[in-house]
Amino acid sequence: MANDSSALPASSPKVRLSVMLFLQYFIWGCWLPVSFGYFGKAGLDFTEGQQTAINICFPLSAILAMFFTNAFVDRNFAAEKFLAISQFIGGLALLGMGQVKSFPLMLTFMAIHCLFYVPTISITNAICFANLKDAQKEFGPVRLWGTLGWIAAAWPFIFILVDWAKVPDMATAGGFVKWLGTVFQTSLSGQALIDRQAMAFTVAGVASLLMAAYSLILPHTPPKPAVAGQESTAGLASLKNLATPFILVLFIVTLIDATVHDGFFFYAFTYLNKVGVPSNWVQTAMSIGQVAEIVTMAILAPVLATLGWRKTMIIGILGHAVRFTIFALIPNPYVAVAANLLHGVCYAFYFATLYIFIDEFLPKDSRTSAQGLFNFLVLGMGPILSRFIWPVVQKINTTGEGVDAVVNYRKLFLYPAGGAVVAAILLLLFFHPPKKAGESSGSVNLPH
């Protein structure tokens, strides 16, 4: 358990953990939304192969973290100190990304940033669970500050990227609503747009350096040396947990859900625009999901206490199925935007619940590796499979080529919706953990 100064108020650990998660997701939320299109023809004009090389740095880092970084932290490093080092190096790389335009340098800085940032997602989760007295009740309210950090970073750039010289005053535009519509449809272009987008990496870099300094005052979370007779590598120990049936089922279901989840981001930008959402409104429309996430994270504890692990997770998975089905059957811009509210259900009721469950049932002496085992799927293998599967599915459901290409979204979206239904059925039939950790010896199949 973490050590904490008695001079600090009792609420201080939770406050510090909340600020930690705010900064953690502020960094990611600052550069990721702005990066869509930044590396393509409207920005730095990298080739498709070059864009793929840059975009795959993040999921590949999740895979590397699973087998190397997370285990190293568990056994050898105080988590908060490793967090400080990682954020410092990753922050310098982000500052570099804000200054360069060439592909070799951009790829180098992105690889360095991801290599050091991605493990911190598992590390910050581990720090939270090591320092919260009741994770089931307290993690949701603490974690929602991460969502607030993402929103605080992403939303200002919606306005920063506006070409204000071309926006009329409110009276001329015909009122606030029409004026706001004009704002969102008047984006910068050319070099001015590229320069403003580059600012996102610079701001994220500064935030990362701030996070590095802040990490030094986080609650102390020491490493856990291997117990005699057990594996010295926490990562290998985490893999052995897959021998437990309900953990293995959860692993398979998470891989499916992570692939479906990433499919939403792969399809949504184009789809929302096709059904009538203006291009400059698309990012705003998608961010409604983060607003809904605030609500669902706040109510996660009572929902989990009432419904239990399995039912809560099934609802989270079915949120994907419902959203894709709505997209398939009701191609309306207002309905499509409203359907993004389901993102909050998808994230809080599955992914956040998953992280709480992992801390409850997997070994405490390898917290970071346990979190990394599933982040390997959520941030690594799921997105990688998504990049291979969903383009093929789209091609199957597309007629014509080039500007004449027509995508049959009604059929297309039934694939990820069906994948979510399959995952929910697997969870319903085969996921039977004990109600509390320690109630069984391991390979169990108890009703819940």
Domain count, the chain: 2
Question: Which of 223, 252, 276 is the C-terminal boundary of a domain?
Answer: 223
Judgement on whether residues 351 and 413 belong to the same structural domain of the protein: yes
Each residue of 64-81: pLDDT tens digit? 887 777 667 767 778 899
Q: Please tell me the predicted confidence (pLDDT) of residue 354.
A: 94
Do residue 258 and residue 356 come from a single domain? yes
Q: Which whole-number Å values give the CA distances from 444 to 94, 332, 366, 432, 434, in the listed order?
A: 46, 47, 22, 8, 8
Q: What is the pLDDT of residues 371-405, one digit of tens each?
A: 888 888 998 999 999 988 999 999 999 998 876 78
CATH number for position 187: 1.20.1250.20
Look up residue 167 and give its DSSP letter. Answer: P
The amino acid at 392: V
Compute the distance between CA of residue 131 and CA of residue 140 in angstroms, rounded to an integer.
14
Structure tokens at 312: 């809560």
Please identify every stretch of the chain with a pLDDT value under 50, giving residue numbers as ranges.
1-11, 229-233, 440-448
HEC letters along 214-278: HHCCCCECCCCCCCCCCCCCHHHHHHHHHHCHHHHHHHHHHHHHHHHHHHHHHHHHHHHHHCCCC
191 domain-assigned: yes
Residues 136 and 237 both lie in one domain: no
Shared domain for 140 and 252, answered yes or no, is: no
Same structural domain, 142 and 259? no
Q: Which two tokens stand for residue 140?
A: 């949701």
pTM: 0.81
Domain end among 223, 238, 267: 223
**Res 242: pLDDT:** 86
Provide the domain limits for residue 395: 229-438
Domain-ending residue, one of 182, 201, 223: 223
According to DSSP, residue 106 is labeled H
Q: Which residue type does 297 have?
A: M
Whether residue 194 is found in the same domain as residue 304 = no
Q: Measured at the alpha carbon of residue 162, what is the angle toward residues 161 and 163, in degrees to the nearest 5? A: 120
